[in-house]
C-alpha cells in the first residue's frame, strides 16, 4: 500500500527534471519530465516509503544519514536540487497541508525558549567540537551569511564585507557602548572594538563559544575594550549606544518576539541604533523543518517579516532601514560545504560517518533552500528616533559603489566612515 501511495505522491511533486527511484523491492520508478541530469536513488529500507510520505523532510534526511537512502555516485547536490526545486514550486499534498497546519499550531509550545531551554538548545549545536567549525568557517569563525558584492570574492572577503556593512549601518564612533546579542566566537565584537574603537559587551549561551571568544580578546590585547559574558541577553542591564545581533534571532522563537524587542527597546539609548541580522522567509509564517529541528537547531524558527515587524511595531521601535539579501547565504553555504568536503576525513576522525552525512545534508540542503525557495536574510535597522540615522542610504556607499571592508577605508575618513563593502 505504502509503495503505491509513495509512487503517486512523488509523481505529483516531481514534475521537472528526472528522478529515478529503485524501490526496496527492486522495482524502478521514473519521475519528472525527462529533462536535465538524471538522478538515481535507491531506497533500502521497506519502511522508508511510508516514512517519506508521512514526513518528507524527516524521512529523507534520516534515511540519507543512516545509509538507507543511497544516491548514485553520492551526488547529494543533484538529488536535493531536483527535490527542493520541485517542492518549492508545487502545492503540498493534501495530507502534508494538514500536517503542516498542525505543526504551525504546535509551534508556540515547540519554540517556547525560556533561558534554561535556550541554553540547552544552543549547546546542541554550538557546543560541538570547536575543531569541527575550523574545518569549514573562515579564520574569524563567522557562522552567518557573508556578503558578496562581487561574485568572485573569497569566503574571507565576503565575511569582512558583511561586518563592514553592519558597522556602517550602526554608524559606529570611537567610545560607543555596543551590546552584541549572540556574539558567537567573538568576531563581530572584536572587529567593532579593534577597528572602530567601540566598547563592546558580547553575550552568548554557548560555553564553547564563550571560552574561545575570551581567549581571542586576550590574545589581541582587547580586554580593556571588550567583555564576553556567558549569559542570556535578558539578564543584561544598562543602556547601550548600539545593539547588534547577527544570526541569533532565529533562535529566539516566535512566542518570545515581543520580549526580545522589548529588551532591545529598554537597552537602546534614546539616540541609539540597533541592527538585527536574521534569516527570514518571504512568505507567511510557517513551521521549522522537522529534520532541522531534531538534528540541527532545536527550538529554532525562521521568521516571516510580517511577524517580526509586528513585534517591532508593538514595542514602539522605529524601523529606519530594511534590507533583504537573497542569494548571499546560498553562496556562503556553498563555500562552507566545499571546505567541509575537503576536510571530511578529519571530520570522520572527530565524529563518524553518520555525522558527516548529516552535516553534508545540512549544508547542501540549506544552500539549495536559499537558492530555490523563498528564504532570504533580513537586516533590520531600528531606533527610537527616526532621525538617528542619515536621511538617505548614501552613507553606506560613499563612493557610489562597493568599497573596502573594515580597516581598509580611505585614510582621510574618520572611524565612523569606514567604507561599506
Question: Catalytic site residues?
Answer: 366
H-type helices in 179-317, by residue range?
Answer: 187-196, 207-219, 257-267, 290-295, 305-314
Distance CA 97, CA 91 (A): 9
Residue pair 243/267 in contact (Cβ under 8 Å)? The answer is: yes
Residue in this structure with the C-alpha cell 510557517, named with its chain if needed = 286
Distance CA 246, CA 138 (A): 16
Residue pair 287/100 in contact (Cβ under 8 Å)? The answer is: yes
The three cell numbers of residue 176 are 560607543
The three cell numbers of residue 416 are 565612523
Q: Which residues contact 213 (CB under 8 A, 6 or more apart)?
A: 183, 184, 185, 186, 189, 190, 202, 204, 228
Distance CA 250, CA 257 (A): 10
Q: What's the longest Cα–Cα distance across the chain?
A: 73
Residue in this structure with the C-alpha cell 555516485, named with its chain if needed = 73
The three cell numbers of residue 314 are 508593538
Distance CA 246, CA 226 (A): 17
Residue pair 175/200 in contact (Cβ under 8 Å)? The answer is: no
Phi first, then psi: give them for residue 280, nearest 5 degrees. -145, 160
Distance CA 272, CA 87 (A): 43
SS3 236: coil
Amino acid at each position: 500500500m505504502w509503495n503505491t501511495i509513495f509512487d503517486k505522491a512523488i509523481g505529483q511533486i516531481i514534475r521537472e527534471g528526472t528522478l529515478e527511484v529503485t524501490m526496496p523491492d527492486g522495482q524502478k520508478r521514473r519521475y519528472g519530465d525527462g529533462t536535465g541530469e538524471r538522478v538515481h536513488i535507491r531506497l533500502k529500507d521497506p519502511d522508508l516509503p511510508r516514512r517519506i510520505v508521512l514526513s518528507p523532510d524527516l524521512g529523507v534526511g534520516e534515511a540519507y544519514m543512516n545509509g538507507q537512502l543511497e544516491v548514485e555516485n553520492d551526488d547529494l547536490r543533484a538529488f536535493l536540487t531536483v527535490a527542493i526545486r520541485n517542492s518549492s514550486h508545487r502545492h503540498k499534498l493534501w495530507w502534508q497541508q494538514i500536517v503542516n497546519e498542525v505543526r504551525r499550531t504546535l509551534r508556540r509550545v515547540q519554540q517556547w525558549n525560556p533561558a534554561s531551554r535556550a541554553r540547552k538548545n544552543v549547546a546542541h549545536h554550538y557546543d560541538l567540537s570547536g575543531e569541527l567549525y575550523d574545518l569549514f568557517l573562515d579564520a574569524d569563525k563567522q557562522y552567518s551569511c557573508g556578503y558578496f558584492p562581487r561574485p568572485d570574492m573569497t569566503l574571507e572577503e565576503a565575511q569582512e564585507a558583511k561586518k563592514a556593512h553592519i558597522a556602517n549601518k550602526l554608524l559606529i564612533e570611537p567610545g560607543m557602548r555596543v551590546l552584541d546579542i549572540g556574539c558567537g566566537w567573538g568576531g563581530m565584537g572584536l572587529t567593532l572594538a579593534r577597528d572602530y574603537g567601540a566598547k563592546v559587551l558580547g553575550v552568548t549561551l554557548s560555553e564553547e563559544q564563550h571560552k574561545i571568544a575570551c581567549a581571542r580578546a586576550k590574545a589581541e590585547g582587547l580586554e580593556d575594550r571588550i567583555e564576553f559574558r556567558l549569559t542570556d541577553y535578558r539578564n543584561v542591564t544598562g543602556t547601550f549606544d548600539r545593539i547588534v545581533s547577527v544570526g541569533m534571532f532565529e533562535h529566539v522563537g516566535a512566542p518570545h518576539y515581543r520580549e526580545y524587542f522589548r529588551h532591545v527597546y529598554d537597552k537602546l539609548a534614546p539616540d541609539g541604533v540597533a541592527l538585527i541580522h536574521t534569516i527570514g522567509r518571504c512568505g507567511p509564517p510557517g513551521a521549522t523543518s522537522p529534520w532541522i529541528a531534531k538534528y540541527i537547531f532545536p527550538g529554532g524558527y525562521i521568521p516571516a517579516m510580517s511577524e517580526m515587524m509586528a513585534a517591532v511595531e508593538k514595542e514602539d521601535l522605529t524601523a529606519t532601514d530594511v534590507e533583504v539579501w537573497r542569494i548571499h547565504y546560498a553562496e556562503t553555504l556553498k563555500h562552507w560545504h566545499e571546505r567541509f568536503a575537503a576536510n571530511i576525513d578529519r571530520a570522520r576522525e572527530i565524529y563518524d560517518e553518520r555525522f558527516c552525512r548529516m552535516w553534508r545534508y545540512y549544508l547542501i540542503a540549506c544552500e539549495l533552500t536559499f537558492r530555490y525557495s523563498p528564504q532570504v536574510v533580513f537586516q533590520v535597522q531600528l531606533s527610537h528616533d527616526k532621525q538617528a540615522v542619515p536621511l538617505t542610504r548614501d552613507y553606506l556607499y560613499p563612493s557610489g559603489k562597493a568599497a573596502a571592508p573594515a580597516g581598509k577605508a580611505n585614510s582621510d575618513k574618520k572611524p565612523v566612515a569606514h567604507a561599506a563593502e
